[in-house]
Amino acid sequence: MNSSQVSFYCKKTGCFLILFLIVSTYTFALKNTSLKNGNWCTTPSSNDWSLGQGPADGQDTIVIATGHTITIIPSNSCNVNSTTYNKMYIQVYGTLKLTNGAKLQLDADGIIDVLEGGLIFSDSNGNGEKIAIGTKPNGNGPNYIWEGNNGSIVGPKTLSKNGLGPLPVNLLFFNAEQQNEKITLRWATSTELNNDYFSIERSEDAANWQKVAIVKGGENSNSKKEYRIEDEISTEQRTSTNTIYYQLRQRDFDGTEKVFPMIAIQLQSSPMLHLIPNPTSEYVIVEGLSENLNTLQLINSLGQLQELFPVPGKSNVFDTNGLSNGIYFVSYTTSAHKTILHKLFIVH
């Protein structure tokens, strides 16, 4: 049985999207991934970054992939020292290098995760290179979390407005897969620190969210942990929207929360098949199936295949006079090779 699947993989090769755009944890925005060694600031149409330009406001998720070194060099064409990036989430799998007094400044909602194997460093022996997240508690100037003369930051670590600390949860992947009316959500972590629980949220517009489930976290763990839940999608949802969004929210025991980038899955809607009348005694009309009528099968409650007798001249009308009373299943195979069952009640 085929299924529709999208994945957000955060492992050795960085974070990559399969099938659909992964948007940020804050709004429906963009992800920008490094494609090779290069600079933070680039000219338009640069091939250093997946979006053709360096990080900018509106690009909520910035990924420095494994094996890549991205260098921040302030210049007349790179106003990084006078720029504050709003609600930006940076994932460092490779290397982020600050040089020539570069200052990277995020607002109070910004987060930098240095994943295992990731590195942030200054190659100017602390010549004013700094990273700020938010402002000082008294509001007087940037809240500098790291300075070059403090030494390199080796992952796993996280930088937030609260300072530099251990990475609470190192997410390996988060993906969704549809099978008929159910969406199976899976994710895994390599390490967890003070992790109380995960909550999974669903949205049809990437803006308004509904909590689907709460899953107990691994508290403190240094080994891989895998999680799985199923979310049932109603027929109304499958017919009213093409795409469903999910996001994973992680909560520490102290109440600190982190929301990982959302994923999107395009729903594979089933043809709207109708059996008329149902219950029936003499015949049944199959409506709503314009193709694949030759895949129709009738199965009784014991799983035994029953012969279908089309009414002469009516390819979608079948004689049920010869069937015993009971519950049957009309089965058909879609063009996507998915088998769908519909109940049919025979009452003479």
Residue-range definition of the domain harbouring residue 255: 169-266
From the list 239, 114, 219, the residue with the least C-alpha distance to 165 is 114
Single out the residue in 212, 237, 266 at which a domain terminates: 266
- The DSSP code for 59 is -
What residue spans of 56-189 are helical by DSSP H? none
Single out the residue in 241, 266, 291 at which a domain terminates: 266
Single out the residue in 136, 166, 196 at which a domain terminates: 166
**Residue 341 near residue 329, CB atoms below 8 Å:** yes
**Tens digits of per-residue pLDDT, 286-307?**
876 655 556 788 888 888 888 8
Is residue 290 domain-shared with residue 258, that is, in the same domain?
no
- The enclosing H or E element of 258 equals strand 257-259
Whole-angstrom distance, CA of residue 114 vs CA of residue 266: 31
Please state the domain count of the chain.
Answer: 3
Q: Is residue 4 part of a domain?
A: no
Which residues have a Cβ under 8 Å from the Cβ of 227 and sit 6 or more positions away? 186, 187, 188, 198, 215
CATH of the domain at 215: 2.60.40.10
Q: Is residue 10 part of a domain?
A: no
**Tens digits of per-residue pLDDT, 262-271?**
888 887 665 5
Q: Which position has the token pair 């600050």?
A: 98
**Tens digits of per-residue pLDDT, 127-160?**
789 999 999 887 788 999 999 988 999 988 999 9
Q: Is residue 23 part of a domain?
A: no
The reported pTM is: 0.58
Is residue 162 domain-shared with residue 173, that is, in the same domain?
no
Is residue 135 domain-shared with residue 176, that is, in the same domain?
no
Is residue 188 domain-shared with residue 149, that is, in the same domain?
no
Task: Give the chain's length.
Answer: 348
Whole-angstrom distance, CA of residue 327 vs CA of residue 345: 5
